[in-house]
Amino acid sequence: MIFPENIGPHLSLDETCLSHGELYTILTNKAAKGKKKSIVAILKGTQSETLIPLIEKIPWRLRKGVQEITLDLAGNMSLIVKRCFPHAKMVIDRFHVQQLATEALQEIRIHHRWQAIEVDNQAIEEARRNKKAYVPELLSNGETLKQLLARSRHLLYKAEHNWTFEQKNRADILFLKYPDLRKAHDLSQKLSWIYNNTQNKIYAMTRLAKWHEAVAQSGFKTFNTISRTIELNYKRILNYFDNRSTNASAESFNAKIKAFRAQYRGVTDVNFFLFRLTKLFA
């Protein structure tokens, strides 16, 4: 479903799931702010070779006027923009980059949690063999090591100044037990700090170079993977600092679709659902 009349100079490209894991690619106009005339195109699937001929049905005189498109790190999305909107500047969404860092941090926490569970299981088995009651060791905040690692999930997403008193107390114990989590949390927060406190590409490039150096010295395999990902996509990542454009409008539109879907308790007829969606937002 294509609506050429809704195209504008600033677009967002993203994918969403309507029902049963079926993915659709949605092109939206930022200027519409998630209201009428937001949808430029809704296309079934995510494969670039299928989608490119469909988007090319939009007249060239309209496509060449697109100045900027925000998208995620998916290679198929980049290829679509490159082929269909060659004059548009690609901006990789900052939140997708930051999400990689937080996922790498959480992976380290989960690794420690599985180790703590295994140690706890061995202690229980040992107590049974010796016919003794197993009493888990409690930390200073009254939590076991397993509970500490499980309950630290949310505080690791946040900056230190946003922690509650209980979270700060939990973080102090966590970082004392696992210094690598403190180091990984610092790396994740430094990446966010670069996005929040840098005004232009030159400073951003310098600060990212220092961040890459810190990652290399940390020895974290997952963070090294993120570092290489940033290096391979650095031009499109640095484009963010021109207008500070994000894919938030596309994510917000996805949230509206999910709310619309939940209101009608799922999607039984996809075609009719798309018809109603486009009547509201196209």
Does one domain contain both 101 and 201? Answer: yes
Give the pLDDT band (50/70/90) at residue 248: confident
Give the per-residue pLDDT at 81. 94
Query: What residue numbers bound the domain in which 179 lies?
Result: 95-242
Share of the chain above pLDDT 70, in %: 100
**Residue 150 corresponds to which amino acid?**
A
Does one domain contain both 133 and 37? Answer: no
CB contact set of 192 (below 8 Å; sequence gap of 6+): 98, 101, 159
Give the per-residue pLDDT at 34. 81
Does one domain contain both 129 and 222? Answer: yes
Does one domain contain both 155 and 268? Answer: no
Does one domain contain both 143 and 231? Answer: yes
User: If you average pLDDT over every residue of the chain, what do you get?
Assistant: 91
Does one domain contain both 84 and 100? Answer: no
d(CA 270, CA 169): 49
Give the per-residue pLDDT at 199. 86
Total length of the chain: 282
d(CA 120, CA 145): 9
Does one domain contain both 267 and 232? Answer: no
Does one domain contain both 42 and 117? Answer: no
pLDDT digits (tens, 9 = 90+) for 177-225: 999 999 999 999 999 999 999 888 999 999 999 999 999 999 999 999 9
Total domains in the chain come to 2
pLDDT tops 90 at residue 166: yes
d(CA 27, CA 25): 7
Helix residue spans in 130-164 (DSSP H): 145-151
The whole-number average pLDDT for the span 17-35 is 85
Place of tokens 């003794």: 132
Q: Partners of 23 in the beta sheet? A: 17
